[in-house]
């Protein structure tokens, strides 16, 4: 992904890879970043504490940490897509969420046909608390769902137009806390 990003020719961006579970690896970078982005990775990391702990030291005073992840309430290994049909209302699709508040790890599929891999589920409260304890505050949050337009309902029991009212993804912006 870094090679693809570099090939676009934006010179003022530093593209790098680090072990987000190692405070030592993360502190090897100079501080003073305007922005650190972590895209769709926090649910693949067993211990996100070191990542959050280091961020206030890497960011400028008005720097930003932006991360995206599959929405932990609606997109975790314990959810099930459900389809029903009755004579009165026709087809109806919903989602069952069996567990959300407890942190746990479980193997799951990122895409049908691929091998299951380990996911580390945390509620938004558990995840964000680690950032708060490190001195970060939320300065933006957006939940995103897939558009109701688009692909026909050939796969109604998967993410897509069928579940356009349920957010599959959440994007959060955090910044170092400001003293008054």
DSSP letters spanning 50-88: HHHHHHHHHEEEEEEEEEEEE-TTTSSTTEEEEEEEETT
Give me the chain's average pLDDT, please.
87
Q: What is the residue extent of each domain of the chain?
A: 16-176
pLDDT, tens digit, 9 for 90 and up, residues 86-101? 888 788 888 999 999 9
pLDDT of residue 180: 43
Report the predicted TM-score, pTM, of the whole model to 2 decimal places.
Answer: 0.85
CB 127 within 8 A of CB 48: yes
| Calpha distance 87→10 (Å, rounded) | 57
CA distance readout (Å), 36 to 30, 103, 141, 156, 161: 12, 25, 16, 36, 31
Cα 59 from Cα 14, distance rounded (Å):
14
| Cα separation, 121 vs 101, whole angstroms | 9
Q: What is the pLDDT of residues 23-80, one digit of tens each?
A: 999 998 888 899 999 999 998 899 999 999 999 999 998 999 999 999 999 988 888 9
Superfamily of domain 16-176: Vaccinia Virus protein VP39 (3.40.50.150)
């Amino acid at each position: 992904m870094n090679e693809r990003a570099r090939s676009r020719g934006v010179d003022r961006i530093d593209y790098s890879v680090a072990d987000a579970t190692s405070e030592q690896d993360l502190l090897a970078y100079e501080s003073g970043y305007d922005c650190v982005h972590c895209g769709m990775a926090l649910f693949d990391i067993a211990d996100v504490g070191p990542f959050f702990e280091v961020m206030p030291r890497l960011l400028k005073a008005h720097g930003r940490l932006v991360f995206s992840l599959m929405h932990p309430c609606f997109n975790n290994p314990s959810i099930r897509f459900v389809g029903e049909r009755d004579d009165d209302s026709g087809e109806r699709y919903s989602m069952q969420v069996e567990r959300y508040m407890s942190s746990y790890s479980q193997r799951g599929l990122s895409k049908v046909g691929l091998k299951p891999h380990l996911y580390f589920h945390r509620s938004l409260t558990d995840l964000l608390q680690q950032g708060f304890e490190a001195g970060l505050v939320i300065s933006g949050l957006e939940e995103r769902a897939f558009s109701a337009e688009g692909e026909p309902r050939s796969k109604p029991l998967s993410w897509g137009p069928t579940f356009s009212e349920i957010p599959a993804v959440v994007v959060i912006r955090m910044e170092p806390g400001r003293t008054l």
